[in-house]
Amino acid sequence: MPATSTRDPLHHVAIPVEDVARAVTWYRENFRCDVDYQDDTWALLAFDNVKLALVLPEQHPPHIAFVHPNPERYGEVKPHRDGTKSSYATDSEGNFVEMLADENLD
């Protein structure tokens, strides 16, 4: 049985795209990944080691997301349409960081 990690896992990286469906098609044709979620405004692709969010720039900023045991420490925890809950913060350099609640995550 693997040892339990004491580090916060990276859940996903979000990158901006102009056309979510076109980007999903490109990633699926070029890499082995599954689509965990997709609509017209964003998609979440699952790779073996991390997930990739494809987001419309006007709706979501580029960001990194970590599973965190206390996301409320960074602000109000809000539910998302994919069933996850998170809060957002900025790091010391102004990058957006999403803090995902560890409940309901696979």
Closest CA to 56 of 27, 84, 98, 20: 20
CATH 1.10.3980.10 assigned to 10-101: no
Residues 45-92 have pLDDT tens digits of 999 999 999 999 999 899 999 999 999 999 999 998 878 899 999 999
Delimit the domains of the chain by residue range.
10-101
Band of pLDDT at residue 4, cut at 50, 70 and 90 = low
pTM: 0.84
106 pLDDT more than 60: no
Token digits of residue 40? 């017209």
- The torsion defined by the Cα of 49, 81, 89 and 52, in degrees rounded to 10, comes to 30
